[in-house]
Chains A and B, each alone.
Chain A
Amino acid sequence: MEIDDEELVARAVRGDDNAFETLIARHQARVFSTVRRYARREHEIPDIAQDVFLKAHQKLATFRGESPFEHWLMRLAVRTCYDALRKHQRNRESAFTDLDDAETDWLDRLAVAPEKAGHEEDAARSLVKRLLDQLTPASRLVVTLLEIEGRTVKEIADLTGWSSTAVKVRAFRARREMRRRAARLALGKYL
C-alpha cells in the first residue's frame, strides 16, 4: 500500500531520509515544471529545484497538514523561483536585436498571415521566453501564474503571500509592461 504524503513528512521530520527521498521522487516532476517556467537559463533549473527541496526539508516541521503537501511544496517552489528571479534580475537582457532566423521568420509570417504562425512552434516559445526574461521579477511571476498557468487572484495571493489587492495591482502593471515589451518587439522588427 502506498504511504501518504503526511505520513512520509512525519517520518522525514524524525530523520528518515528514505521517506524524504520518496517525497522528492513523488513531487519532483511538478517542481521541475514550475521551475522551468521561471528559470532564465536551462542550467539553472536543477539548482533551483534542489533549493526548493532543501528548503522544504528545512521547513518540514512547519507543515501542519491543513492543506495537501503538494500545495505547501508549490508555495515554497513559487517563492524560491521568485527569489531566484530577484537574485538574477541584473542579468535581464535589454534588446531584441539578436533574434535568430527562426524567430524572425515566425514574426514575418505573423505580420503577413497570422494564421500561418502557429503558437506550438519552437520559435514562438523562444520569443515568449525572451519577452518574459525582460519583465521585472514581480511582473514575470504574475504573468506566469495568471496568464500562463491560469490561476485566480486568490490562488496567486495564497502562493505568493501577497494580498489580493497587491496581486491585482501587480497584474495590471505586468500586463502593461508585457504589452509595452511586445510592442517594442514588433517595432524593433518592422521599423
Chain B
Amino acid sequence: MNTDILLRKLMSAARQPGKDWSVPDAFEKRVLASLRQGRIRPAFPAVDWAAGLWRVSVSCVALAAVLGACCLSFPGAALGGEDLGVALEAVLWSGAEEALEVL
C-alpha cells in the first residue's frame, strides 16, 4: 500500500468534523459548581490547620518518646546540667582553633 496516499486520506479524514461534536447540557453549571466547591475549602483555614496538626501529633509524640528513651538509656552522654549552647559552640570552634594553632 502506498503510505503517502494512506497518510493523505487519513489527514483528510481528521479534518472532517465528527458526528457528535456537541457540548454536554448545562456544562457551564457544572464548571461553576466545581468553582464554588473549590472556594469552600480555603474558607475555613483553621480546620485545615487543625487537621494538619492532628496528623503530625502522632509522629511528634513518637519522636519525643524515642529521644526520652535514648536520654534515659545513655546517661553518660547527657550534658549533666551544662548549657547546651556553650557545649555546641565549643564543639564547632574546636576544629577552627586547632587549625589556627597549626598556623
Contacts and interface: CB of A to CB of B under 8 A. Distances in A.
A95 interface: no
A79 to B, nearest CB: 18
A119 B30 contact: no
Given A28-B28, A54-B31, A54-B35, A125 B6 contact: no
A contacts with B: majority SS: helix
B9 A114 contact: yes
A189 B3 CA distance: 12
A36 interface: yes
Nearest to A185: B6
Contacts of B30: 46, 50
Interface stretch (A70-78, A80-88, A158-166, A175-183): A175-183
Interface of A: 17, 20-21, 24-25, 28-29, 32-33, 36, 46, 49-50, 53-54, 57, 107, 110-111, 114, 117, 119-122, 124-125, 127-129, 131-132, 144, 147-148, 178-179, 182-183, 185-186, 189-190
B3 A124 contact: no
A21 B29 CA distance: 8
Contact of B13 (A57, A125, A183): A125
B100 interface: no
A186 B3 contact: yes
B contacts with A: majority SS: helix
B27 A24 contact: yes
6 contacts: A110-B9, A119-B16, A124-B13, A128-B11, A147-B11, A182-B6
Nearest to A186: B1
A182 B10 contact: yes
Contacts, number: 94
Given A32-B23, A46-B24, A128 B31 contact: no
Nearest to A107: B1
Interface residues of B, number: 31
B27 to A, nearest CB: 6
A125 B9 contact: no
A20 B36 CA distance: 12
A53 B31 contact: yes
Nearest to A149: B15
B69 interface: no
A120 B16 contact: yes
A25 B28 contact: yes
Contacts of A110: 1, 5-6, 9
Nearest to A131: B10
B21 interface: yes
B2 to A, nearest CB: 8
A189 B1 contact: yes
B9 A119 contact: yes
B32 A182 contact: no
Contacts of B29: 21
